[in-house]
Structure 1
Amino acid sequence: MDKVNDIALTLQHEFDAHAAKELESTLEELSQTERQDIIIDLTEVSFIDSCGIGAIVFLYKRLKSRGRSLRLLNVNGQPRQLLNMLRIDKVIPLISSAEI
């Protein structure tokens, strides 16, 4: 599979409760696609809250139960600090553009 085609979702600005609710059906669809690897591009995300984290973990669990994987691209600033603090980076790989 062409690695560029692995990026399934690009988020921007804030990934908070409102954004997570708006993306609920999209995340559900992603968990059921035929792609092996799902990459969420967080390059433009400046803030993430517990609902955003919950949405990512929900997708990760759905994918893992189907033998698939999730990676998070270009996580920086507050989102990276929170993912590191919660140790989510130990389970869901945080990658850079050079790694895709």
Structure 2
Amino acid sequence: MFEFKKANDEIGVISLVKRARITGEMSANFRKWQETVDLKSCSTVIVDGNNIEFIDSMGIAALISIYKTVSAKGSDLILVNLSEEIKKLLNTLRLDRLFIIKNCSVVEAIKDLC
């Protein structure tokens, strides 16, 4: 369901393999999955929101968990390809102050960092 790829030695990309709603059980599965990947070795982690149809409070908690993991090492969490609805939700919750939200593709975000 979830996929983690290294774009290079320092940039990791998290994405959903297929379109899904990040709610309840899916969020719990995501958190368990997150513990199996080495996010701490990345200077930047990009979350590709392309396949995220909807996100609830549990899904947001999962994003915050990723943020805590990467920021503990001084790394950045960048969210890309988010729907307008999800961007509005994150802005309303003022999480746009916590996450870096970019209006670009994963490829563009990686190019921007290199």
Q: TM-score range by the shorter chain?
A: 0.7 to 0.9
Relative to the length of structure 1, the TM-score reads: 0.82
Relative to the length of structure 2, the TM-score reads: 0.73
RMSD: 2.0
1:1-100 to structure 2, matched below 5 A, reads 4-5=7-8, 6-11=11-16, 12-30=19-37, 32-95=39-102, 96-97=104-105, 98-100=108-110
Amino acid at match of 2:72: S
Q: Which ranges in structure 1 are unaligned for 5 or more consecutive residues?
A: none
Amino acid at match of 1:99: A
Amino acid at match of 1:38: V
Q: Which ranges in structure 2 are unaligned for 5 or more consecutive residues?
A: 1-5
**More helix by percentage:** 1
Higher relative contact order (CA 8 A, sep 6+): 1
Amino acid at match of 2:89: L
Runs of 4+ more than 2 Å apart: 3-8, 28-33
Residues 42, 72 of structure 1: 8 Å contact kept: yes
Residues 7, 13 of structure 2: 8 Å contact kept: no
Matched residues, percent identical? 28
